[in-house]
A and B are shown apart, each in its own frame.
Chain A
Amino acid sequence: EDQVTQSPEALRLQEGESSSLNCSYTVSGLRGLFWYRQDPGKGPEFLFTLYSAGEEKEKERLKATLTKKESFLHITAPKPEDSATYLCAVRTWGAQKLVFGQGTRLTINP
């Protein structure tokens, strides 16, 4: 069964303190890995799609990378407005669904 595990469950940083969030996956055949940001009580907001090992994508202070077993979301010099839950999801070949991890709740203190 396809599985996605995110770590840590929660992370508290000071403004400007860079860090990384981890998404480990076990799937039968990866078609795409997706990162979303979710604010409390809202729907997930699409950030990135990664398709193959070695791929990297950047958006403002965020950079996502992908290996054959995991993905990292690096956040550089974060600001309080980056506080949110970050969700990782995978889609496999022949499947319609996204399989999500449980998310990492990120808090950036001013």
Chain B
Amino acid sequence: ETGVTQSPTHLIKTRGQQVTLRCSSQSGHNTVSWYQQALGQGPQFIFQYYREEENGRGNFPPRFSGLQFPNYSSELNVNALELDDSALYLCASSPGTGGNTEAFFGQGTRLTVV
């Protein structure tokens, strides 16, 4: 059974550019959530996708958007990058949306905006 995998592992972008981060969910998991983790802080919820539909969103502006594909993999897109977008971006997959289901995280993508 493969775990959650994210790509790329590291990325450097210039302010104003756009970026796409990718996530392959764990086998059998149909729900993917994205989190942003600033240095020294806990992860902050960006949004969740369930069966290709957005299923909840945190306090992030519309320039953060996403997709989920039929195989349940997912993308996070960020437009008009700002310096404050520099963070570790985490993808988590779970076998459903119920509150008692555990979320399993990938290794993250470290995004640096210069």
What residues of chain A have their CB less than 8 Å away from a CB belonging to chain B?
A: 4, 31-32, 34, 36, 41-46, 49, 51, 87, 89, 91-93, 95-103
Contact = CB atoms under 8 A, between A and B. Distances in A.
B33 A96 contact: yes
A52 to B, nearest CB: 11
A102 B42 contact: yes
Given A46-B105, A98-B33, A100-B43, 17 more contacts: A31-B99, A31-B100, A34-B103, A41-B88, A41-B110, A44-B43, A46-B102, A46-B104, A49-B100, A96-B45, A96-B55, A96-B56, A98-B43, A99-B45, A101-B42, A103-B41, A103-B42
Contacts of B68: none
B106 A32 contact: no
Interface string B72-114: 0000000000000000101010000101101111111010000
A27 B4 CA distance: 29
A49 B48 CA distance: 20
Contact of B108 (A4, A32, A42, A101): A42
B61 interface: no
B70 interface: no
Task: Pick the 6 closest A-B CB pairs, nearest first.
Answer: A31-B99, A100-B42, A96-B56, A97-B45, A43-B105, A96-B48
Contacts of B28: none
Nearest to B41: A102
Among A4, A34, A92, A100, max chain B CB count under 10 A is at: A100
A100 B43 CA distance: 6
B40 interface: yes
B16 interface: no
Given A32-B100, A97-B56, A43 B42 contact: no
B68 to A, nearest CB: 13
A93 B99 CA distance: 7
B107 A42 contact: yes
Nearest to B100: A32
A87 B42 CA distance: 7
Contacts of A102: 40-42
6 contacts: A42-B108, A43-B108, A89-B43, A96-B45, A97-B33, A103-B42
